[in-house]
Structures are given as C-alpha cells and as structure tokens.
Amino acid sequence: MTPGSTVFRECSACGKHIAQHTINSGNTLGARFWTDGKRDAPMLPDQPWLVKCPHCSSLVWIDEQMQVGEIEPWGPRGEGFTKFTDALPASAPTLREYSACLLAGVEAGDKERYVRLRTWWAGNDARRNGVHHTPLTEVETANLLAFSALLNEKEDNDRLMKAEALRELGMFEEAEGLLATQFQKELMEAIGIIRRLNKSRNSVVAEMKFR
C-alpha cells in the first residue's frame, strides 16, 4: 500500500479539524471477502464516505466538509504540521449510529443506498467470526428489506446482492429464483458459494474463499 496525501477538513458541525488519510495505491493481498459484499483488505483500507467526527461525534459526509489544508506523505514539513495539530482521523459509524441516521432521514439515492449497505455490514460484523450466530434484529430486518428494494435486478451485481440479502432474510426460494438467472462469467464463483449456502438453508453471512 502506498499512502496518499493527508487532507484536512473542517467539521461542519463543530468547526474542528478532521484528518482524512488517502491512499495512492493498494492491493487485495491477504484480503477476506464476504457474501454481503464487504471486503477486509489490510493493504487497501476502507475509505468511508459517511464518518463520525472525532471531536463532536456528529455524522458527516467527508467529501462535503470544507478542505482547509493538505500535506503530502513524504513532502517537506510545512505549515500543515503545526496549523492542524488538533486534527484527528474520523471513524466509521456503529450499527446504532447508522440506524439513527436512517431514522432521522437520509437523502434518497446514493446516500440512502450507502447507509443501508453499511448498516447491513455493521450488523453482520459481530457474526463474521463468531461461533454462535444471532438472528437479524427487527431493525436489521427492516433495513435489509428496504435495501433490497433499492437494488436493480437488471444489473448483475445488484441482482446477486439482492439474492444474498434475501438469503440472509431466510427467503430462500426468492433468493434461488434470482441466483438461477444468467450472470456474467466473473460472478459465477461467488454465485456458486452463495447458492450452496442458500440450498442448505443457511442464512448467516459467510466468508467467500475463492480458488
């Protein structure tokens, strides 16, 4: 992984500084892939769009926060190192915070889709490596139903994601109906993994280990 510049932004809620660390290049060596679409890649860290301010804990869209400075990773130590000493990196919201964001109302379109996807992932995080898998909560179920309704079945990736959402909701016949349709060749291995889980009536998120 090659780090990019550090961008300093001003939180629109409290006016304090957020340090946004960017990436110039990365790779998926050692990455883990999950049936819900999440990827954990140590050499390609997640760059969340909706973040929690490290100072006031407000949820803000990082690209909408005013940029007030920038420093290169190996550049000369200049004003940025002294002017933004209060700057801290933001963090990703928790399941409860994503849910509260949805309850408060999210702009329809890309933002709603993003928050609902991240809500799904956040709920599944506790199930990824656990021995005992808890069922979806009412909040998670409502979110996953709403998220699946946003997906376009005419698009292969969306259709596969919707099938996985239906599998995790325990709607196995509906999931099979989507998985049995024609997909592009690049998705067939992932489809095979999810289809086997679906046929065994397994509704838990699972790691996908590709050959």
Whether 67 and 104 map to the same domain: the answer is: no
Residue carrying the six token digits 């998985």: 179
Q: Express each pLDDT in 157-209 by its tens digit.
A: 999 999 999 999 999 999 999 999 999 999 999 999 999 999 999 999 999 99
pLDDT > 60? residue 13: yes
With bands split at pLDDT 50, 70 and 90, how would you rate the model's confidence at 24? confident
Whether 32 and 60 map to the same domain: the answer is: yes
Whether 77 and 142 map to the same domain: the answer is: no
With bands split at pLDDT 50, 70 and 90, how would you rate the model's confidence at 73? confident
Residue 185 in tokens = 């060749």
E strands, 12-166, are 17-25, 32-34, 39-40, 50-52, 59-61, 66-71, 88-89
- pTM assigned to the model: 0.94
pLDDT > 80? residue 131: no
Residue 61 in tokens = 């869209």
Whether 56 and 120 map to the same domain: the answer is: no
Residue carrying the six token digits 């590709």: 210
Whether 80 and 112 map to the same domain: the answer is: no
E strands, the chain, are 2-10, 17-25, 32-34, 39-40, 50-52, 59-61, 66-71, 88-89, 207-208
Whether 21 and 116 map to the same domain: the answer is: no
Contact 64, 90 (CB under 8 A): no
Give the domain range for residue 185. Answer: 95-208
In the listed set 73, 89, 105, which residue is the last one of a domain according to the structure? 89
